[in-house]
Amino acid sequence: MINFQYSRPGDIADAVRQIAADPRAKFIAGGTNILDLMKYDVERPAHLIDISRLPLTGVEETASGGMRIGALVPNSDLSYHPLIEARYPILASAIRAGASQQLRNMASTGGNLLQRTRCLYFYDVATPCNKRAPGSGCSAIDGINRQNAILGTSDACIATHPSDMCVALAVLEAKVHVAGPAGERVIAFEDFHRLPGKTPERDTNLAPNEIITAIELPARGFAKNYTYIKIRDRHSYAFALVSVAAALELEGKTIKEARLALGGVAHKPWRNKEVEATLNGQPATRESFRSAADALLRDAKGFGHNDFKVELARRAVVRALTQAAQGTPQSQSNKKIV
Amino acid sequence: MTFRNALTLNINGSEHEVFIEPHWTLLDVLRREIGLTGTKENCIEAECGVCTVLLDGKAVCSCILLAMQAAGRSITTIEGLGTPDALDPLQVAFLKHGAVQCGYCIPGMILTAKSFLAEHPGTPTRHEIREAISGTLCRCTGYQKIIDAIADAGAEGAQAAS
Amino acid sequence: MNAYIGTPTSRVDGREKVTGAAKYAADYNTERLVFGAVVTSTIARGRIKRIDTSLAKHVAGVLDVLTHENRPDMAAKDDAWKDDVAPEKGTPFRPLYDGRIRFNHQPIALVLAEEWETALFAATLVQLQYEKEKHATDLHAQRDKAFVVEKPEKPRGNAAKAYAASEVRHEAEYFIPTEHHNPMELFAATAIWDGGKLTVYDKTQGVQNVQGYLCSVFNKKADDIRVINPFMGGGFGAGLRPQYECVLAVLGALALQRSVRLVLTRAQMYALGHRPATIEHLTLGAKKDGTLNVVTHEAIAETSEFEDFSRNDTGWAGLLYKSANTKFEHKLARLDVSTPSDMRAPGAATGVYALESAMDELAVALKLDPVELRLKCYSDRDQNDDLPYTSKALRACYRQGAEAFGWSKRNPEPRSMRDGKEFVGWGMASGVWEALQMPAAARIVLTANGHAEVSCAASDIGTGTYTILAQVAADALGLPIENISVKLGDSTLPQTPVEGGSWMAASASHAVIAAAEEVRNELLASARAMNNSPLADAKPEDVVLAEGKIMRRHDQSRAVSITDVMRHSGADRIVKEKKNEFAEDLSHARNTHSAIFAEVKIDEELGIIRVTRVVSAVAAGRILNTKTAHSQIMGGIVWGIGMALHEETVFDHKFGRIMNANIAEYHVPVNADIHDINVIFVEEKDDKINPLGVKGVGEIGIVGVAAAIANAVFHATGVRVRDLPITLDKVLR
């Protein structure tokens, strides 16, 4: 791992000032991804700005009935927070589906959003990768692509975003509060992560000199009818092949509102509001779910090893919507998918 | 070039003064500077849990934690859990149930379980225990005896608390 | 006098392991220790055109960078590089020897620095230019170039004719990908420099093998290098041969005349040995009643460009099943990879997976219960060599395993059993392994206070050697186990073979018994010389050691305490070292057996596979320690689950490079993948194999497990997957 200058800013303004002053600097909070990438020689920051002690660890209710989660709240604390468990159980569930106890204890809320892809070629500096070395080519398109994307891909990159938590945040339509040299701004969750396009090296729309300060959850938590299903190659401690966060508001057996996000299939948590809207007013039946799943995956395309994800994602969507409608969310410890 | 920083680490209840470079991980410092080799190194990329220590009572991977970040926080390693004459109930349970084979994952496994039981008092289900320690890999034991040991220690702890 | 043998004695080294006191190869600290880091190749085949280490050398704290251009001398002849268990044919790999690149991730430079992190960083700064050559890493693409090795068992009858004439036939090909051992401990060596002499703490399954190898590679005298490894964080075969970390640690120590530690990274361990990718081609022919007429088994496995590694994949049918006609063939295809190595039950884990999958398919074709088919074809003799077994309780394994599992409730129709949204599948398979035993020596030091130290060079790789030797010694010397201490893993201790092949339990325990007999004989000689000795006329075979005394076997009142004997003789200690050699017996086959029953539950739409139950009934002679042996079998079963569902070393053949060279993406089972495992030790008395009747249990646990699971997957879904691992996409339909 490269050696670096280490600093610990006193407050958020200081952190922003430090990162703006040094283009080769990066923030470190939980460190679970940046240090990993530094050990693989993928990241080589000359300066690490340790923000882990900034006062961004609050979990508070907002005036509008939602919640504001400090960017440095550890993932495990968030998933076991009584208000999160009660009002946003889909978020608690998605967090627990990810990584391991140790990593959830270390990883921060803000850092989770900034996780980089697990594409095998991104991690191996001996191979071409447009995300790691722009212009060098994508090795995954005709390479080992079991884990890669089937939606929103480009000729330059077929990487996926690895987070589970973010899939739930997409469904909850969280807002990302950031601070930069120009002050604070709020980014809607759907605008936070990017599709690869011609610039796969950019994962998000966060500017290099900005810091995430908080995640805001709107009031609606879909605590009654939700689920998070994660399908992977072993039953824990593995990244998703496909995951689905589903949230419903029902009136009797009719869907009043549906939200769906997929993980493991695209460069960002994948939502399609048009498809979701087609469920509104429909009966909460397998037929409705299947036609939504078909529509959601209509443009999906595999690259060989990951062809199976298209049908798997369809089926997972149906199952997730079924679980959500029945109010029988998936347990993250008992691995039987109900 | 970077300079060494003076750092005070609170390890197993004692303060240790070290001079380190910023990129040294807590794992390196524990093993090399302090000489606490009970914390094992393996993947050094947080893929296996073998290097697990407790940071303020919570299980973390020491291979991916900068030692600088542990300043002022309470660190517990396997050497601080029990002494050979007064083992922690988890250590006793691991011996009793034959949950130990090559032994390499065991310090991390026991500390992972310690953190989990502390945060989930009562009697967790086997499913919950399995999930909680799935981040700590073992290539020998067949896991079942590890679950038996943790369930046993958990039940004992719950009984003691009531 | 058996107080301990056969009991579930807790690990005598357990306390050290749960407290973190047990030291492994990278745990030995010393003053002025230098840290090494390895630079590895990024191409699979070619030559180093230019290697520039100047940037790396400029990093503060870097002491030197060794390459093939500036390294200290190493042996030039192949023979010097051949360790005790090297393949017979070929040229062993020599790290940093020349500029030739033979496989990806090959070590090509060693950075030596004052701090480990400095060495790791500087290693990223070494600049390389290669002359690339076309590489081959895909076994399927090279299968036509495979050549036959003279290994397999001889044929019987006329297989082709018998197959053509068979009423029911099955032919299929099965594939096992490259797998890696992935022990939790990284390969590491700490070479302690002591004025020209070296003590090397090395992760190895054979300290004497490494010691001999290092001496010959570096042209040192036997006294110059001592190798120590009291604890090993898992081996599974990866540490049978010396790996390059010990060579490079010594190379660094010689270059700097300082102590050096080298710890390989997880990724670098993927360039060590591995289970070879293997294609297995089976044909089975039977009469309608299930009588087997013919078995042919052809294996095509990979090996490296420079060594011929092959193991017996194909002969197992000859041990398990009666068949008048058989033909076995083993082929190797050369790839630009490191030489494969033994990995838990080498040959059997792969070959028996294919055989037992094929037998299941034959049972389906015959509409016969899979257990029935196996009983119908059951062989009481080793068909390959036409020999009886020293013991074979496989029939009882089938019966007891089936009963414990509830096999009789199985509906044979695929997709017929369900649990909610999951299909339930029940599958079974047989397992077989060799009961090997080797010459080994042990030393016993008995002190007048009734304590004994038992020692030999064997490694305890987690299997429980410390514990079983303590049990055997306690019984043989008639002392409480608390009075026994065991010393292992030091090349200066009495000679033993490398720890592998499940042979150490039998080999080392009989060495301890042999040494204990010597101790007994000396005690008897002294006891006979005592005034009014109750043993005055006793012969060695008349006496035993028990309860701290030497006593007549059939009249325990005629006894003298060991303390009294030693006080009388004036000896404060008795030191006896003895090598045990087993009598050669060419008239029997020696094998362990098992019957495995597995239950899988598979989501009907999503294909998610859970192995919810495994019952393994094992016949392995006398079990020295039911607790540690149980762990061995259970670990083997978990390995089998991994082999069936998870494990695969993934190559990108375009780069000739392993793309999942880490344990995040190379999946070994985690806790959440493992449910109920029931291990049954079937009574198997064996008075022919060796005096204790011991056979060893390290390998048998894994053999057949992958087949039982694959067969259960078929029963659950009706989908027959013949290429491992069985990932969910392969059963989706």
C299 and C367 inside one domain: yes
B95 and B75 inside one domain: no
B64 and B31 inside one domain: yes
Best residue of A124, A236, A290 to probe chain C, by most C CBs closer than 10 Å:
A124
In C529-646, alpha helices (H): 562-569, 626-645
C699 flagged as catalytic: yes
C213 and C67 inside one domain: yes
In A156-223, alpha helices (H): 165-172, 189-192
Number of domains in chain B: 2
Percent of chain C with pLDDT over 90: 99
Partner residues linked to B59 by β-bridges: B54
For the stretch A2-22, pLDDT in tens is 889 999 999 999 999 999 999
CB-nearest to C121 from A2, A126, A319 is A2
B71 and B93 inside one domain: no
Last residue of one domain, picked from the residues B56, B80, B104: B80
pLDDT below 50 — which residues of chain B? Answer: 1
- Tokens coding C529: 């010389």
C188 and C330 inside one domain: no
B75 and B106 inside one domain: no
C4: part of which helix (H) or strand (E)?
A: none
C533 and C600 inside one domain: no
Tell me if C154 is assigned to some domain. Answer: no
Closest CA to B117 of B144, B152, B142: B152
Closest CA to C574 of C445, C442, C443, C441: C445
- Full strand arrangement of the beta sheet holding C46-52: C100-101, C46-52, C127-132
Q: Is C645 within 8 Å of A234 when comparing Cβ atoms? A: yes
- Please check whether residue A274 touches C, CB under 8 A: no
The CATH number that applies at residue B70 is 3.10.20.30
B152 and B118 inside one domain: yes
B70 and B119 inside one domain: no
User: What is the Cα–Cα distance from C612 to C590, expressed in whole angstroms?
Assistant: 33
pLDDT of residue C334: 98
Closest CA to C648 of C632, C638, C636, C660: C660
B70 and B28 inside one domain: yes
B103 and B145 inside one domain: yes
| DSSP-derived 3-state class of residue B69 | helix
- Please check whether residue A96 touches C, CB under 8 A: no
Partner residues linked to A241 by β-bridges: none
Average pLDDT on C576-597 reads 97
Q: Identity (one letter) of the amino acid at A278?
A: T
- ipTM for the predicted complex comes to 0.97
Number of domains in chain C: 3
- Please report residues of C whose CB lies closer than 8 A to that of B28: 116-117
Packed helices C207-217 and C244-256: angle between N→C axes, nearest 10 degrees: 50
| DSSP-derived 3-state class of residue B96 | helix
Provide the pairing of β-strand B58-61 with C484-487.
Answer: unpaired
- Tokens coding C489: 């893993």
C451 and C477 inside one domain: yes
The CATH number that applies at residue B103 is 1.10.150.120
User: What is the Cα–Cα distance from C420 to A323, expressed in whole angstroms?
Assistant: 14
Cβ pair A122, A95 in contact under 8 A: no
DSSP collapsed to 3 states, C448-469: CCCCEEEECCCCCCCCCHHHHH
Q: Is the dihedral of CA C92, C98, C103, C107 positive or negative?
A: positive
Closest CA to C89 of C47, C151, C45, C138: C151
Tell me if C374 is assigned to some domain. Answer: yes
C411 and C464 inside one domain: no
User: What is the Cα–Cα distance from C523 to C571, expressed in whole angstroms?
Assistant: 10
- Please check whether residue A97 touches B, CB under 8 A: no
Q: Identity (one letter) of the amino acid at A182?
A: A
- Please report residues of B whose CB lies closer than 8 A to that of A43: none
For the stretch C496-529, pLDDT in tens is 999 999 999 999 999 999 999 999 999 999 999 9
Average pLDDT on C699-712 reads 98
User: Quick one: residue A334, left, alpha or beta (phi over 0 = left, psi -120 to 50 = alpha)?
Assistant: beta
C50 and C196 inside one domain: yes
C300 and C397 inside one domain: yes
Cis ω for the linkage preceding B89 (within 30 of 0): no
- Please report residues of C whose CB lies closer than 8 A to that of A237: 670, 672
Quickly list DSSP for A301-327.
Answer: ---STTTHHHHHHHHHHHHHHHHHHHT
C648 and C516 inside one domain: no
- Please check whether residue B141 touches C, CB under 8 A: yes
Look up the domain containing C203 and give its range.
25-134+184-234+239-269
Average pLDDT on C334-348 reads 98
pLDDT of residue C200: 98
Q: Is B131 within 8 Å of A1 when comparing Cβ atoms? A: no
Packed helices C504-528 and C562-569: angle between N→C axes, nearest 10 degrees: 60
A-facing residues of C in 650-689 (CB < 8 A) are: 650, 652, 654-655, 657, 659-660, 662, 664-665, 667, 669-673
User: What is the Cα–Cα distance from C245 to C188, expressed in whole angstroms?
Assistant: 6
Tell me if C601 is assigned to some domain. Answer: yes
Q: Is the dihedral of CA C415, C418, C422, C428 positive or negative?
A: negative
pLDDT of residue A325: 98
Only one residue has tokens 């799935």, namely B134
Tell me if C140 is assigned to some domain. Answer: no
- pLDDT exceeds 80 at position C150: no
Tell me if C149 is assigned to some domain. Answer: no
Average pLDDT on C590-606 reads 98
Q: Is A39 within 8 Å of B68 when comparing Cβ atoms? A: no
pLDDT of residue B159: 81
- Please check whether residue A315 touches C, CB under 8 A: yes
The CATH number that applies at residue C226 is 3.90.1170.50
Provide the pairing of β-strand B74-76 with B5-11.
Answer: parallel
C420 and C327 inside one domain: yes
Q: Is B69 within 8 Å of A52 when comparing Cβ atoms? A: yes
Last residue of one domain, picked from the residues B54, B80, B106: B80
Closest CA to C708 of C643, C658, C622, C662: C643
C607 and C560 inside one domain: no
Tell me if C146 is assigned to some domain. Answer: no
C282 and C395 inside one domain: yes
The CATH number that applies at residue C495 is 3.30.365.10
Between the alpha carbon of residue B110 and those of residues B21, B107, C675, the distances in Å are 30, 5, 20
For the stretch A135-162, pLDDT in tens is 999 999 999 999 999 999 999 999 999 9
Between the alpha carbon of residue C681 and those of residues C396, C404, C623, the distances in Å are 10, 12, 8
Q: Is A312 within 8 Å of C732 when comparing Cβ atoms? A: yes
Provide the pairing of β-strand C278-286 with C292-304.
Answer: antiparallel
Tell me if C326 is assigned to some domain. Answer: yes
Look up the domain containing B103 and give its range.
89-161
B70 and B94 inside one domain: no
B67 and B25 inside one domain: yes
- pLDDT exceeds 60 at position A268: yes
Last residue of one domain, picked from the residues B80, B111, B144: B80
| Other CB atoms within 10 Å distance of the CB of residue A333 | 17
Tell me if C10 is assigned to some domain. Answer: no
Work out the mean pLDDT of chain C and round it to a whole number: 97
B121 and B138 inside one domain: yes
Cβ pair C605, A308 in contact under 8 A: no
Domains, chain A, with CATH or none:
5-52 (3.30.43.10), 226-326 (3.30.390.50)
